[in-house]
Amino acid sequence: MKEKDSQQFNIDMFQLYGAFKNNWFKLVICGVIGMAFSLVIAFFFITPKYSASIDLLVNQKADTTQAQFTAQQADLQAINTYKDVLQKSVILEPVLKKIREQDNYKGSIETLKDSISISNETDSQVVSVTVIDTNAYVATDIANTIGDVFTQKIKKIMQVNNVTVVNKATVNTTPISPNKKLFALIGLLVGAGVGFTWVFAKEIFDTTVKDSEFLTHDLGLADLGAVYHINSKNRDFRIVSVAEETSNDDQRRVYGG
């Protein structure tokens, strides 16, 4: 019984390949539908987000080469402190107050903090502050305001004038998310995957007999003939002959109508 069940679920790879080949158009349609569905979500159901970045240079002025080298090393060591100060309320509260007045910003100080990311390359004296917001102009204003407030506050906090703005933020109306190309690719792959799964499941669980070879080769049955579809409106037909075994294996009796 177990051997019979295993034969029933045996997968013929050539047959499966033929099924995919015969249904390639349906697979393409599924992929296109999936891609279109994902693009509809990306365009109409996901709020786009924009980014703006400002670059701050940490650099002290010195009169001699030796003093300049010493100051540079001190600046590099201070950068981690500056990155931490940039996210403190001493900087964010004045920024929040200003952008609420300027842009009617509705977020809280926590929302503002979450929208800010700070990066710095190894051994670089440039600190980049990136702001992400649903409005490209608001993101730019926040970034530039952070630069202005920080350069003023750090003088009092650190008692040193070593931070300058080297690259102010500019408005970029190209959203960074959602990535429509990525959404389209994911939708295409998911749609095609659904199509493949549907064709595969249909082929695996299809129990219909498509040719006589399955009966003779796989099930070991004798092929007695084939009965084709007969149109009931056409009365001009003859009954198909049927072969019947007699007691003698070498003899056959054929009945015709």
Q: Which of 45-49, 97-101, 122-126, 190-194 has the lowest mean pLDDT?
A: 122-126
Select from 167, 193, 209 the last residue of a domain: 167
d(CA 181, CA 39): 9
Q: Which residues contact 23 (CB under 8 A, 6 or more apart)?
A: 195, 199
Confidence of residue 191 (pLDDT cuts 50, 70, 90): very high
How many domains, in total, are found in the chain? 2
Q: Are residues 23 and 82 in the same domain?
A: no
Which domain does 231 fall in, by range? 2-41+181-245
Question: According to the model, what pLDDT value does residue 225 have?
Answer: 65
User: Percentage of the chain with pLDDT > 70?
Assistant: 70
Select from 118, 144, 167 the last residue of a domain: 167
Question: According to the model, what pLDDT value does residue 78 have?
Answer: 83
Q: Are residues 59 and 151 in the same domain?
A: yes
Asked if residue 218 lies in contact with residue 236, where contact means CB atoms within 8 angstroms, the answer is no
Measured distance between the N- and C-terminal CA atoms of the chain, rounded to whole angstroms: 41
Q: What is the mean pLDDT of residues 128-147?
A: 96
Domain-located, residue 211: yes
Q: Which residues contact 117 (CB under 8 A, 6 or more apart)?
A: 129, 130, 132
Q: Are residues 57 and 160 in the same domain?
A: yes
Question: According to the model, what pLDDT value does residue 5 have?
Answer: 46
Domain-located, residue 257: no
The CATH number of whichever domain residue 89 belongs to comes to 3.30.70.1130
Question: According to the model, what pLDDT value does residue 22 have?
Answer: 83
Residue 205 has pLDDT above 60, yes or no: yes
Continuous H helices in 104-216? 109-114, 136-158, 180-204, 212-213
Q: Are residues 104 and 159 in the same domain?
A: yes
Q: Are residues 160 and 206 in the same domain?
A: no
d(CA 138, CA 136): 6
Question: According to the model, what pLDDT value does residue 228 have?
Answer: 63
Q: Are residues 68 and 18 in the same domain?
A: no
What does the pLDDT look like over 14-34, one tens digit per residue? Answer: 777 777 888 888 889 999 999
97: buried, middle or exposed (CB in 10 Å: 19+, 13-18, 0-12)?
Answer: middle
- In the block, which residue shows the tokens 């033929």? 18
Full-prediction pTM beyond 0.85?
no
Domain-located, residue 63: yes
d(CA 151, CA 30): 55
Domain-located, residue 173: no
Residue 162 has pLDDT above 50, yes or no: yes
Highest averaged pLDDT of the listed ranges 5-19, 132-146, 195-209: 132-146
Domain-located, residue 253: no
Q: Which of 10-24, 114-128, 184-198 has the lowest mean pLDDT?
A: 10-24
Highest averaged pLDDT of the listed ranges 64-68, 75-79, 188-192, 226-230: 188-192
Q: Which residue has the higher pLDDT, 171 or 215?
A: 171
Q: Are residues 58 and 30 in the same domain?
A: no
Q: Are residues 106 and 157 in the same domain?
A: yes
Q: Are residues 158 and 133 in the same domain?
A: yes
Structural tokens at position 34: 């999936």
d(CA 76, CA 118): 15
Q: Are residues 112 and 137 in the same domain?
A: yes
Residue 184 has pLDDT above 90, yes or no: yes
Domain-located, residue 154: yes
How many Cα neighbours within 13 Å face the side chain of 56?
A: 28
Continuous H helices in 53-133? 65-85, 89-103, 109-114
Q: Which residues contact 43 (CB under 8 A, 6 or more apart)?
A: 180
Q: Are residues 78 and 132 in the same domain?
A: yes
Q: Are residues 97 and 146 in the same domain?
A: yes
Instruction: Please report how the helices 180-204 and 13-22 are oriented relative to each other, as an axis angle in degrees rounded to 10.
Output: 130
Q: What value does the mean pLDDT of the chain take?
A: 81
Least Cα distance to 88 among 110, 58, 65, 121 occurs for 110
Question: According to the model, what pLDDT value does residue 200 have?
Answer: 85
Collapse the DSSP code of 61 into the 3-class scheme (helix H, G, I; strand E, B; otherwise coil) and give the result: coil
